[in-house]
Amino acid sequence: MALADLRKKLPARLPWSPRLVPVIRMSGIIAAREGAINLDRFAAPLTRGFDRAKSGEKLLILAIESPGGSPVQSDLIGQFIRRKAAETGVRVVAIIGDVGASGGYWIACAADEILANKMSIVGSIGVIGGGFGVHQLIRRYGIERRVITAGANKLRNDPFSPEREEDAVFNRGLVDDIHNAFKSWVRSRRGSAIEGHEADIFDGSYMLGEVARSRGLIDGFGDVRSVINERAGESAKPEFIGPKKKFSLMRLLGRDAGAALLNAIEAETLGARLQ
């Protein structure tokens, strides 16, 4: 008998084995680069988590520790979670630790229920973008810049040129559009819980978990192990699932630190972000 066939004949859980509830840890900045929270890294762990939950307790926990980052990756992960939840019938509970703000909160909203600690940092439903202008600095030192472009706006937001009024208008529109998408997502996921509090929660500010609960951003308080014991029994245990770590000799030697720093700088200087 093939190993795959044997696995199918075995029960999902042996009588003497503990009940396991899959927990997906999402910790760090949300960005497309390697090592950050993004769909490429978390699609496989999320799929494994939903599969385990489907054949087990029908409960998946997202343990979130993130101040935010890329709106694109936040949305991709959020939509992925909702698709998997619909396919499997699994209930998703997001548990915010120290921080689940901005993009971290965006992902938390993909859950059917959001819990946190009274001291957790929650919210920050806003968008930030920008950069630096160094045109006066290079002028002071007599530096002449030479650049050739095709397209009236190819040099938009050039840090070596004075800011143009049309660029400022463009940037404001871009940030407002992302903010509107963020607000729409929160409204669709939190529903009537946030009614009457939108002026306080959509201004980009963050708050402690106790305040977040009073304004409808979270449903209650709890931590991973207490929630598992309450909902799957005292003998239930967490099964932590995360991305597989890739072996890298360069990382082992510490030589990719410069590349990681450059990626971080690039992420900071290009585009709007949820932080």
So which residues are the catalytic ones? Answer: 102, 154
Q: Count of CB atoms within 10 A of residue 66's CB?
A: 28
Which residue from 109, 86, 85, 87 is spatially nearest to 96, judged by alpha carbons? Answer: 109
Work out the angle at residue 110's Cα, subtended by the Cα atoms of residues 236 and 98, and round it to the nearest 5 degrees: 65
SS3 sequence of 78-126? HHHHHHHHHHHCCEEEEEEEEEEECHHHHHHCCCCEEEECCCCEEECCC
Q: Assess contact for 268 and 36: CB atoms under 8 A.
A: no
Which residue from 108, 167, 110, 109 is spatially nearest to 133, judged by alpha carbons? Answer: 167
Distance CA 202, CA 125 (A): 5
Strand partners, 139: none
Question: DSSP H helical segments within 131-256, as ranges?
Answer: 135-140, 165-190, 198-201, 209-214, 224-232, 249-253
